[in-house]
Amino acid sequence: MELPDVVGPALRGWTMPLLFFAVAYILVGTPQVETQFREGCSLLKHDHFVVYSKRVVTPDGVYPASVEIKQGRIVSVIRRREAPRKGEEDVVVLNYGNAVVMPGLVDVHVHLNEPGREDWEGFRTGTRAAAAGGVTTVIDMPLNSYPTTTTKEHLNLKREAAKGNISVDVGFWGGLVPENVANLTILEELLNSGVLGLKSFMCPTGLNDFPMTTASDIQAALPLLAKYGRPMLVHAEVVQPLEDTPLLSNGVESLSSDARRLHSTYLSTRPPSWEQEAVRQLMEVAKDTVPGGPAEGARIHIVHVSDAGATLQSIQEAKENGVDVSVETCPHYLAFASEEIPQGDTRFKCSPPIRDSSNRDKLWEALKRGSVDMLSSDHSPAPPEMKEIDSGDFLKAWGGISGLQFSLPVTWTAGKSHRVTLAQMARWWSSNPAKLANLDRKGSIQFGKDADLVVWDPEQSYVVDDNYSIYHKHKVTPYAGWTLSGKIITTFVRGQQVYKEGEFPEKRCGMRLSAL
């Protein structure tokens, strides 16, 4: 082809290759899509394939279907009684038979603690545990890392630390602390740099670099959150006086070491009134978010609710009055009861605390009714020394439960007697959490969504014994020794097979998710 003379001879030499690349670019697709299929990112060497199973969990029911995946996305979901026969499809068909194909879990409450506290957990270990547990997206909490995610610069450090080290997709919550509420420019910069929302504590966190905020601090941030359409997450406990509690009338210092080894002692130091008071204050502030209010359109989300009594009741009332508020609880509140926790077993310590078995039953009812919207792990491990495993002192031990890898089987196992369905599992663990975080491409098996899938066998049971592979940094977890139902067979993140029966691909190709 002769080129017109307006193109000089030097340029002419470049034009053909440039033209070639331009055409190739259009034909092959954007470089962004190509990079998702880099060598070593997937155990499966195909970027176009079909997943078949008799039980595919979709938004319109659980049925036998084939899910076609192309370049990381779901391109079709077709109801069909039998798997495609060999040669019937021109692409590879992975037939999982009677195993369940469900959207990967979106865990909106995970403490990965990196940078700065890699000795507690980390991107590499935490996201491997996620992949092995069928969790395809985790959203990292802004505290326990050092520095905490309270400024744009700190978020950048986090993003840098995550680069190349994550096995699943990871988003970040920013932290709301008195310092950035006092300077909304810092907060706005943080939102502009891509945090999916903000998180604050209404009680001390135990860490100086993440101070608590009051209801009025939260109120001050709501208009900004409304502007960006991102949620405000709150650890809702407000410290209440304990003098009237007989056990504590002389102060915790006077308690015997035997008393300190009882979970019931710890429980009495954090009564339901702490959660109730926090939620009362929050629901007052939430009135600003209704149409015509100063923070119209802002959304408040209450993390890890434990009290199924008055706390949930006031949230429910606010919902009925048209306030956009949501709430999560965690598997440990649904699986355990305070009176069943062995003496000195501080693996079970978390805040708010695990309450009694009648509270646990009420939590299940609330979840099934829809009063509780979703589940999260609140995976928050600490080194065994900090958990006071040796002394068993519940008052000294650091709070936080380690269980990211077990969310799915624990919910399923503990949910059996409550007749939990697969559709509920997908709503609580995938579609509702994805909505909270505005992750439009996540959370359901549907045309156009990211191909984030977990394939698991609900009927298979196993014991979390010493030979069981736990991928968390620390193996200290209250689920050790448990017999669980629900075996994770394989996990796909954007079509990349990131876990398959104990194996992971060579590279970690999770994406850092940003709200931009």
Q: How far apart are CA 247 and CA 407, in angstroms?
A: 34
143 near ligand 1AL, judged by CB under 6 A: yes
Which residues, numbered 165-224, are part of the site for ligand 1AL (CB under 6 A)? 205
| Helix, strand, coil % over all residues of the chain, rounded to 5 | 35, 20, 45
Nearer to ligand 1AL by Cβ, of 111 and 152: the residue is 111
Q: Which of 54, 235, 260, 435 binds ligand 1AL (CB under 6 A)?
A: 235
- Pull the structure tokens for residue 337: 């009861």
Positions of E strands within 59-132: 61-70, 73-79, 92-95, 100-103, 105-110
**Per-position x/- string for 333-352, each x denoting binding to ligand 1AL as judged by CB under 6 A, each - no binding:** -----------------xx-
147 near ligand 1AL, judged by CB under 6 A: no
- Residues sharing a CB contact under 8 Å with residue 476, sequence separation 6 or more, in sequence order: 347, 381, 384, 387, 389, 402
Q: Which stretch binds Zn ion (CB under 5 A): 80-88, 259-267, 283-291, 372-380?
A: 372-380
Residue 143 interaction partner, one of Zn ion, ligand 1AL, none, beta carbon < 5-8 Å per kind: ligand 1AL
With b meaning 16 or more CB within 10 Å and e meaning fewer, what string describes 150-176?
A: bbbebbebbbebbeebbbbbbbbbbbb
With b meaning 16 or more CB within 10 Å and e meaning fewer, what string describes 475-509?
A: ebbbbbebebbbbbbbbbbbbbbbbbeeebbeebb
Residue whose C-alpha is closest to residue 202's, from 144, 139, 269, 285: 285
395 near ligand 1AL, judged by CB under 6 A: no
478 near ligand 1AL, judged by CB under 6 A: no
Nearer to ligand 1AL by Cβ, of 268 and 444: the residue is 268
Residue 127 interaction partner, one of ligand 1AL, Zn ion, none, beta carbon < 5-8 Å per kind: none
494 near Zn ion, judged by CB under 5 A: no
> What are the residues facing 117 on neighbouring strands?
none
Cis peptide before 147 (omega within 30 of 0): yes
Cβ 402 to ligand 1AL shortest distance, Å: 11
Cβ 308 to Zn ion shortest distance, Å: 17
Instruction: Tell me the number of residues near ligand 1AL by CB under 6 A.
Output: 11
275 near ligand 1AL, judged by CB under 6 A: no
270 near Zn ion, judged by CB under 5 A: no
Residue whose C-alpha is closest to residue 154's, from 175, 133, 134, 177: 175
Cα end-to-end span (Å), the chain: 43
Q: Which stretch binds Zn ion (CB under 5 A): 212-220, 287-295, 355-363, 375-383?
A: 375-383
- Residues sharing a CB contact under 8 Å with residue 334, sequence separation 6 or more, in sequence order: 360, 363, 364, 367, 375, 410, 411, 414, 415
Residue 144 interaction partner, one of Zn ion, ligand 1AL, none, beta carbon < 5-8 Å per kind: ligand 1AL
Cβ 400 to ligand 1AL shortest distance, Å: 4
Nearer to ligand 1AL by Cβ, of 101 and 300: the residue is 300
Rg (CA), the chain: 24
Residue nearest to ligand 1AL (CB): 399
400 near ligand 1AL, judged by CB under 6 A: yes
> What are the residues facing 70 on neighbouring strands?
48, 73
Residue nearest to Zn ion (CB): 235
- Pull the structure tokens for residue 483: 């017999």
349 near Zn ion, judged by CB under 5 A: no
Q: Which stretch binds Zn ion (CB under 5 A): 179-187, 211-219, 231-239, 253-261?
A: 231-239
Nearer to ligand 1AL by Cβ, of 161 and 234: the residue is 234
Residue 271 interaction partner, one of Zn ion, ligand 1AL, none, beta carbon < 5-8 Å per kind: none
Nearer to ligand 1AL by Cβ, of 44 and 170: the residue is 170
Long-range contact set of residues 237-241: C-beta below 8 Å, sequence gap at least 24: 237/202, 237/203, 237/270, 237/274, 237/275, 237/278, 237/351, 237/352, 238/202, 238/203, 238/274, 238/277, 238/278, 238/281, 239/203, 239/204, 239/274, 240/271, 240/273, 240/274, 240/277
378 near Zn ion, judged by CB under 5 A: yes
Q: Which of 111, 158, 379, 427 binds ligand 1AL (CB under 6 A)?
A: 111
Cβ 459 to ligand 1AL shortest distance, Å: 32
Residue 350 interaction partner, one of Zn ion, ligand 1AL, none, beta carbon < 5-8 Å per kind: ligand 1AL
Q: How far apart are CA 193 and CA 196, in angstroms?
A: 10
- Pull the structure tokens for residue 448: 């156009």
473 near ligand 1AL, judged by CB under 6 A: no
Nearer to Zn ion by Cβ, of 154 and 270: the residue is 270
407 near ligand 1AL, judged by CB under 6 A: no
Nearer to ligand 1AL by Cβ, of 133 and 399: the residue is 399
Cβ 351 to ligand 1AL shortest distance, Å: 4
* 171 in Cβ contact with 439 (< 8 Å): yes
Q: Which of 314, 380, 477, 490 binds ligand 1AL (CB under 6 A)?
A: 380
Residue 399 interaction partner, one of Zn ion, ligand 1AL, none, beta carbon < 5-8 Å per kind: ligand 1AL
At residue 317's C-alpha, the angle toward residues 353 and 412, to 5°, is 45
* 35 in Cβ contact with 421 (< 8 Å): no
399 near ligand 1AL, judged by CB under 6 A: yes
Binding residues (CB under 5 A) for Zn ion: these are 235, 378, 380
Binding residues (CB under 6 A) for ligand 1AL: these are 111, 143-144, 205, 235, 350-351, 378, 380, 399-400
